[in-house]
Amino acid sequence: MNFQRIISALAGACLAMLPLGVAAQGAGGLTVELNKTEASDSGGCSAFFLFRNETDNSFEGFEMSLAILDSGGVIDRLLSIDAAPLPVSRTTLKLFEIPEIACENISEILLHDLTSCRPQNGEEMDCFPILTLRSKASAALVK
């Protein structure tokens, strides 16, 4: 066996041993977009999120811990949202209520933590490296 074949065989073996999460990173990303906000009937703010899953995996677990910052840049509250399931190669719309704060009083939404990011039939993984955040609303969405 020549040297090139040995290197190719070793590279193939190494790729086969990669965990599911690393394989998902190479396939594309996961984009979370705050698409719009509007006043809710309860006096809070309705936040419309788009989740664009361009990875090779569906996610059966995807929970985010968000810090809601008021117009002065001060943390108003923490909010946990569960966006799962996120099907593979799809864009999913999710609506979440942010209670007791008007939309115009939200300056920024900070992704504080991903408390769950679990591919279907897989183990929890670190999704921060494959995550892109965007906002089309007046409030920024940042990590």
Does the structure show a pLDDT above 50 at 24? no
Greatest extent of the chain over all pairs of C-alpha atoms, in Å: 72
- For 79-136, write each residue's pLDDT tens digit: 999 999 999 999 999 999 999 999 999 999 999 999 999 999 999 999 999 999 999 9
d(CA 85, CA 127): 15
d(CA 70, CA 76): 6
- For 60-71, write each residue's pLDDT tens digit: 999 999 999 999
Q: Quick one: CA torsion of 119, 19, 130, 47, rounded to 10 degrees?
A: 20
**Which token pair is 4?**
């090139």
Q: Which domains are present in the chain? A: 21-142 (2.60.40)
- Cβ count near 3 (within 10 Å): 7
